[in-house]
A and B are shown apart, each in its own frame.
Chain A
Amino acid sequence: MSYPADTSIVVDQATKSFTLRYHRTFKQVTVAMLKGHQVSDTFQAVDDVSFTVEQGESVGLMGLNGSGKSTLLKMINGVMKPDSGRVLTRGRIAGLIATGAGFHPQLTGRENVYLNAAVLGMTERETARKFDDIVEFADIGRHLDSPVGNYSSGQFARLGFAVAVHVDSDIFLADEVLAVGDKPFKKKCLERMQEIRDSGRTLLYVSHAASSVRKMCDRVIVLESGKVGYDGEVGPGIKYLKYDAGTDEEEQDEELGADI
């Protein structure tokens, strides 16, 4: 099957199941088997999910906790392979799925920026070119040259976020966004994500905050226990999830902090 040239992400009947292990050690497993208890079980985290995203689309991925959003994102990110079906992407992927992943607590912020950028696929020259922008965005001042182990969780997240948004990607995945950070920084992040979207990059945004999804996205996909429950326009999507009931936009702006 071929796809048009401006297809950015293809998820084609992707299925991923996990094994639940009730007992892990030799002793536990033996005892459980003797008693006739179940030792392990599988569950479908992502169950036969199909959709395509065009280049430049901005898609909100929503769903209750445990509905398979993160697993789906990991398959699109390439960390996991689907058990069956396939996932295809076009171009470079970056995102806030892994802010600060690989930060080494004993290394300084500066060293970690280079390392993190390399992990995200940036070359040495690219990092050097963007280094000042990254530092300015993170805005952590003198702390740049002290070990990140001494950073506050907010500073840690700032630096990770700053690196991630400076990767020149074609697809931008956003998970765990804005879970930490103060209000001015959150605002800066949202603005930055809008910039990313407006530059024609594909944006996949996982969020529980209806208002920010409304602001950011032009399509919503709702997952329900691993299956696609809804795929279409934003307003009905949020209604589908019943996230709009009873709360007005004001209140939801406050919810932003409780992302994830």
Chain B
Amino acid sequence: MSEASSTGAALEEPRPHRRVDADLAPPTARSGLLGVFQNRYLLRLLVRREISARYSGSFLGLLWSYINPLSQFLIYYFILGKLLDRGTENFAVHVFSALIVVHFFIETFNAGTRSIVRNKSLVRKMALPREMFPVASMLVSLYHVAPQVVILFVVCLFYGWVPDPMVPVALALALGIIMLLATALALLFSVANVYFRDFASVVSILTNFVRFGVPMIYPYAVVEERFGSFAQYYMLNPLAEAVLLVQRAFWVGTTQDPSATAATELPDHLFTRGLAMVGVSLVVLVIAQLVFTRLENKIPERLN
């Protein structure tokens, strides 16, 4: 329009012509979960930021990730195993293996829901795929699962547990279910939380149900015994499935007669169900992404 000539000071030397090869395109970030994985470097840095920030200023640092679950296990061991002496065989291991799954889910759900609001300084100013933040929350939680699995592994060895080939399969299925499902819920609730901060409170109530909706502080056999045919609806909960898979991987192997335990304490077709639940979680994730895409346009202006 107007190449200025009259105004300005004595800086009229011609500027180099810069040719830009890119196409004219909308400047908004390529969004969606695919956009997140195209920018893995930033995702990695965000995850690392969360992890190192959690233990910053602490002397023991990452060691806390081991001390915490270990102390929890010891509490269960003495209270549930020695003091109450109820439930099933090696009840402490039963509870602890379930707890790993439940913790992973709850942490992702809680932190993921708050993730966009918490990173508002970034979200309001930079064109990033906003799915980045719930996904990063999930990965941070996943990172803290590892030490817990290590503790569980060592504890199980003390109980005389011998790993079988299905252990990694069961663990992978369980983690897969939680990763997909928790990310889906984190996506949904993170954007909802931008609109109304009430959702963070809703999530903490929901997570209370999670603790008791899975066979953690009671064995699955009780559900079958009391609920009868209703147990099949109980098993529609992907979290219950994931918990049972981890118990199959670790707890079952610590009992006197693993095959008998598996027959009485686990539902039939555990692995087939697990695979189906991965599929279900994937569908939920796709739905969550669609909803997220619809709602995210208003995020920058609703964050204040």
Contact = CB atoms under 8 A, between A and B. Distances in A.
Interface of A: 3, 5-8, 10, 18-19, 51-52, 55-57, 74-81, 86-93, 97-98, 101-102, 104, 106-107, 111, 114-115, 118-120, 123-124, 147, 170, 194, 197-201, 214-215, 217-219, 231-235
Interface string B116-128: 0001011011111
Nearest to A19: B301
Contacts of B127: 77-79, 93
Contacts of B45: 114-115, 118
Contact of A235 (B6, B21, B46, B124): B6
A55 B20 contact: yes
Instruction: Return the 5 tightest CB-CB contacts between A and B, nearest first.
Output: A78-B127, A200-B18, A78-B27, A218-B4, A98-B125
Contacts of B11: 194, 215
B42 A90 contact: no
Interface string B27-66: 1110000000000011001100100110011000000000
A218 B26 contact: no
B15 interface: yes
A80 B17 CA distance: 30
15 contacts: A7-B24, A55-B20, A79-B124, A86-B26, A87-B27, A89-B24, A106-B52, A107-B52, A107-B53, A123-B41, A200-B16, A215-B11, A218-B7, A231-B1, A233-B7
B23 interface: yes
Given A111-B52, A219-B4, A90 B41 contact: no
Contacts of B6: 233, 235
A91 B19 CA distance: 10
B8 A215 contact: yes
B240 to A, nearest CB: 34
A51 B2 CA distance: 12
B300 interface: yes
Nearest to B13: A198
A220 B41 CA distance: 38
A87 to B, nearest CB: 6
Contacts of B25: 88-90
A120 B29 CA distance: 12
B145 to A, nearest CB: 23
Given A98-B126, A118-B45, A233-B2, A218 B8 contact: yes
Contacts of B122: 98, 101-102, 119
Given A119-B126, A119-B128, A218-B8, A102 B20 contact: no
A107 B56 contact: yes
A78 B49 contact: no
A95 to B, nearest CB: 10
A118 B128 CA distance: 11
Contacts of A101: 121-122, 124-126
A200 B56 contact: no
A29 B67 CA distance: 48
B22 interface: yes
A88 B26 contact: yes
A5 to B, nearest CB: 8
B263 interface: no
Nearest to A124: B41
Contacts of A81: 26, 28, 297
B28 A234 contact: no
A219 B2 contact: yes
A78 B26 contact: yes
A234 B1 CA distance: 12
Contact of A215 (B9, B21, B28): B9
A201 B125 contact: no
Contacts of B24: 3, 7, 10, 88-90
Given A18-B301, A101-B125, A231-B1, A214 B9 contact: yes
B27 A235 contact: no
A93 B7 CA distance: 27
Given A102-B119, A102-B126, A199 B56 contact: no
Contact of B56 (A52, A79, A147): A147
B125 to A, nearest CB: 4
B41 A56 contact: no
B3 interface: yes
Given A118-B42, A198-B15, A232 B9 contact: no
Given A88-B25, A102-B126, A234 B4 contact: yes
A119 B300 contact: no
Contacts of B301: 18-19, 80
Name the residue among B21, B121, B126 with the largest chain A CB count within 10 angstroms. Answer: B126
Contacts of A106: 52-53, 56-57
B16 A199 contact: yes
Given A215-B8, A235-B7, 19 more contacts: A10-B24, A51-B1, A55-B17, A74-B125, A78-B26, A88-B27, A89-B24, A97-B125, A107-B49, A107-B53, A118-B42, A123-B41, A170-B18, A215-B9, A217-B4, A218-B4, A219-B3, A233-B7, A235-B6
